[in-house]
Structure 1
């Protein structure tokens, strides 16, 4: 019997605008953002496509998080371009 495997997570990379925003967050905001980024890394299709771009827009109204990101062709890396908490 083969062991159960969890979904493979993509590697998440934050680009400069997102890193600058991250520096301004409180510990509570960072914790909420971490949960959103983990969810996106497990399922990069969570966000809605931004028309005419490769970007996706993920909004979690419960935690008050918004993440703009795109996923590389082989879904191994998720590039976060913008965070809003």
Structure 2
């Protein structure tokens, strides 16, 4: 019999906070588009380094070709 995985051993996910322009865009998405975006945000929260750095900024640009989603984001010191 196996024991449940301790929270100490699960991967740490980053906290995701949406800024106003992103919130406005969310209101225009269909349920299917929101679902695809959710999967992409989970992937980024698990590995914030997925995106490509945008030169001369703190921004990162991540494109999920499978789901057809592009997210531009930044990572803080708290991740």
The counterpart of 1:27, out of the listed 21, 24, 31, is 31
Higher strand proportion? 1
TM-score of the superposition, structure 1-length normalised? 0.82
Matched, 1:36 2:40: yes
Tell me how many residue pairs correspond in the alignment.
Answer: 74
The counterpart of 2:58, out of the listed 45, 49, 54, is 54
> How many angstroms apart in 1 are the aligned matches of 2:44 and 2:10?
14
TM-score of the superposition, structure 2-length normalised? 0.88
Number of the residue aligned with 1:12:
16
Gaps of 5+ in 1: 76-85
Gaps of 5+ in 2: none
- CA RMSD after TM alignment: 1.5
Higher helix proportion? 2
With a CA cutoff of 8 Å and minimum separation of 6, indicate the structure with the bigger relative contact order. Answer: 1
